[in-house]
Structure 1
Amino acid sequence: MTCRDEILTVARKLSRERTDGIFTAQEIVTAMRERGTRHLDTTIRRHVATEMCINAVGPKAGKYHDLERVGRGQFRLL
């Protein structure tokens, strides 16, 4: 399973558990660790904050339109 696939699985679960659907990058990392992911924390954070985030900035920003940053370190699924 790719890092992105694992993040999406965990993000969907976290979104369902909250009325506002908002979660943090740290919650994603923690949940993936609990599931026994093989991905490094830095890789997970980079995917969440940059590659998967539609409103991120940088060379690889918004590669996938999966998440939206709604606050400092806070995200929601699109």
Structure 2
Amino acid sequence: MTCRDDILTVARVLARASADGTFSSQEVVAALRARGTMHLDTTIRRHVASEMCRNASGPGAGKYHDLERVERGRFRLIPT
């Protein structure tokens, strides 16, 4: 699986477990570590905060519209 696929899998679990449906990149990293991921923490964080986040800015930002930053350090899944 790709890093993006792995993140989406744990993001769904984290969103369901959260009262407001949000999660942090650190929660994603911890969940993937618990699953034994081989992805680097920095790669996971970059995907969450930039590549997969539709309202991110910078090079490579918003490549995929999977997540939305709702406040500093908090993200939610964008319904498909």
CA distance in 2, matches of 1:61, 1:20: 25
**TM-score, structure 2 as length reference:** 0.96
- Pair 1:54 & 2:54 matched: yes
Structure 2 residues without counterparts, runs of 5 or longer? none
SS in 2 for 1:58: coil
Instruction: Determine the C-alpha separation between the residues in 2 that align with 1:55 and 1:41.
Output: 21
> CA offsets per residue over residues 30-58 of structure 1, 9 Å max, x none?
00000000000000000000000000001
The residue identity in structure 1 corresponding to 2:7 is: I
Ranges of 4+ aligned residues in structure 1 off by more than 6 Å:
none
Unaligned ranges ≥5, structure 1:
none
> 2:59, 2:27 → 1: CA distance?
25
2:65 counterpart residue number:
65
Q: Out of 13-22 and 41-50, give the one that drifted further.
A: 13-22
Q: CA RMSD in A?
A: 0.5
Give TM-score scaled by structure 1 length.
0.98
Distance 2:44 2:18 in 1: 21
The within-5 A match list for 1:1-78 is 1-78=1-78
Q: SS state of the match for residue 20, structure 2? A: coil
Whole-angstrom distance in 1 between the partners of 2:25 and 2:59: 20
Structure 1 residue 18: Cα displacement: 1.6
Tell me the CA shift for residue 63 of structure 1: 0.1
Aligned residues: 78
